[in-house]
Amino acid sequence: MANLKEIRGRISSISSTMQITRAMKMVSAAKLKKAQDAIVMLRPYSEKLQEIIQNVNSSSDPDQVSVYAQKREVKKVLFIAVTSNRGLAGAFNSSVVKELNQQFQNNAQYEVEVLTIGKKVYDAVRKNRAVFSNESAIFDNLSFDKVANITESVMSSFIEGKFDEVYLIYNRFINAATQEVITEQVLPISMVETEKEEGQAETDYIFEPNRNEILDNLIPKSIKTQVFKAVLDSVASEHGARMTAMHKATDNAQDLKNDLVIFYNKARQAAITNEILEIVSGAEALKNS
């Protein structure tokens, strides 16, 4: 049985840990509000941009296909995996790494490379997989321009034929307690026309300068927005996952502390009882002598 001094030390250590986890929870909660607002505001813009592209594409020349929509025989695939630079966020990082490893198995017949955004995924794959680029530093001062520069290099590589398909793997933010790992295709983009509802009138568009030039400008912007949205989703998911993990850690530490306090009180009570018995026994011995 541990002595009372050791138990007091463990109680003090757990109390210190609780202060840290509680502080981390409060910091993540404060950061989550800003990150959640950013992704909530960007999603409608991204969806509307996709809708415009689909509408313009439905009126464009079917013989003229964007370079970003050209499908070719798949030989080499690039995965853009997004995690965080820090841990203590539950299964937030490990779920992306797990999905990435599953995609490696599913695409074993192709040559696969990874563009890592986040130190955790970079550390997980750098020894066993070809890393196209590590862009973990963008979290130091995240902005659309930084993500756009990374996306432009990927788009250029796709046009040059270095990759035949490009996919994103990230955590999609649902709420503070729920994140969903998503794998979505970035390149080649899907130009499938949306089906019109019965009775819906055809929309007659007037294009200036022309529809194909509009697509040439909208599609790259849409791809950059898609990647930026994935990064913002991941940032919001990270803070939500860390807040939830630290909340659970604080609760578990409190339960462990309560158990140790009860154990300490019982051990202290037993020690006091033994001392009383020794005193009584000594007094009785002196009395009998």
Q: Are residues 105 and 238 in the same domain?
A: yes
**In a domain? residue 195:** no
Strands 178-187 and 165-175: antiparallel
For residue 217, pLDDT over 60 is answered with yes
Q: Are 148 and 112 part of one and the same domain?
A: yes
Q: Same domain, yes or no, for 212 and 275?
A: no
**Is residue 175 domain-shared with residue 275, that is, in the same domain?**
no
Instruction: Identify which has the larger pLDDT, 214 or 245.
Output: 245
**158 by DSSP, 3-state: which?**
helix
Q: Which two tokens stand for residue 195?
A: 């089906």
Q: What is the pLDDT of residues 93-115, one digit of tens each?
A: 999 999 999 999 999 899 999 99
| Residue 178 structural domain | 25-190+204-244
Average pLDDT of the residues in 147-170 = 92
Is 196 inside a domain boundary? no
Q: Are residues 275 and 148 in the same domain?
A: no
Q: What is the pLDDT of residue 287?
A: 77
Q: How confident is the model at residue 200 (pLDDT cuts 50, 70, 90)?
A: very low
Q: What is the mean pLDDT of residues 78-83?
A: 94
CA–chain centroid gap for 222, Å, is 21
* H-helix or E-strand spanning residue 214: helix 211-288
pLDDT, position 2: 59
Q: Which long-range contacts (CB under 8 A, 24 or more apart) does 19-27 make?
A: 21/246, 21/249, 21/250, 21/253, 22/246, 22/250, 24/88, 24/242, 24/246, 25/242, 25/243, 25/246, 25/247, 25/250
14-23, 89-98, 120-129, 186-195: which range is least confident on average?
186-195
Is the residue at 271 inside a domain? yes
138 and 279 assigned to the same domain: no
Sheet strand arrangement including 76-82: 130-134, 111-117, 76-82, 165-175, 178-187
**Do 272 and 181 belong together in one domain?**
no
Residue 257 domain-assigned? yes
Q: Where are the alpha helices (DSSP H) in 59-143?
A: 92-106, 119-125
259 in a structural domain: yes
Two structure tokens written together for 39: 């992704």
Half-sphere exposure of 59 (CA within 13 A, CB side): 16
* pLDDT tens-digit readout, 234-257: 999 999 999 999 999 999 999 999
Number of domains in the chain: 2
Residue 246, pLDDT score: 92
Pair 10, 123 in one domain: no
- The answer to whether position 107 is within a domain reads yes
The verdict on residue 85 lying in a domain is: yes
Q: Does 136 share its domain with 265?
A: no
Same domain, residue pair 215 and 277: no
Three-state DSSP state, 153? helix
89 part of a folded domain: yes
- Based on the fold, state whether residues 177 and 258 are members of the same structural domain: no
Q: What's the CATH number where 83 sits?
A: 3.40.1380.10
Q: Please check whether residues 262 and 226 belong to one and the same domain.
A: no
Q: What is the pLDDT of residue 283?
A: 77
CA dist 84 and 243 (Å) reads 14
Q: Which two tokens stand for residue 98?
A: 């797990």
